[in-house]
Amino acid sequence: MEIIDIIGFTAGTLTTCAALPQIVKTWKTKKTKDISLGMFSLLFTGMLLWVIYAAIRQDYPLFAANVISSLFVATILYFKLRYK
């Protein structure tokens, strides 16, 4: 594995894991009042576009990070809609 791939996977891991504290907090408290539906909707749409872009470019670190991040953001959106 080249250094550029290690950097890519590391960056992807860190940015993907950034959503986990919000997911855990929302799951525990069932409170979503301060979560912006608009912001997370735009973020989710952007991540899906990154998935498509990465698939076309065959950029596996970018693809993997955005697939997982999209799932995490989708979870936050689900909580936002469920716990209104």
Q: Is residue 6 part of a domain?
A: no
pTM as predicted: 0.86
pLDDT of 84 > 90? The answer is: no
Q: Is residue 3 part of a domain?
A: no
Q: Is residue 20 part of a domain?
A: no
pLDDT of residue 29: 96
Spatial distance between the Cα atoms of 42 and 24, rounded to a whole number of angstroms = 21
Q: Is residue 4 part of a domain?
A: no
Q: Is residue 17 part of a domain?
A: no
What is the tens place of the pLDDT at every residue in 31-81?
A: 999 999 999 999 999 999 999 999 999 998 889 889 999 999 999 999 999
pLDDT of residue 51: 97
The count of structural domains within the chain is 1
Pair of tokens at residue 63: 């693809």
pLDDT of 1 > 90? The answer is: no
Q: Which domain holds residue 73?
A: 43-84
Q: Is residue 24 part of a domain?
A: no
Burial 28-65 (b: 16+ CB within 10 A, else e): eeeebeebeeeebeebbeebeebbeebeeeebebbbbb
**CA distances (Å), origin 20, targets 23, 57, 59, 71:** 5, 28, 24, 11
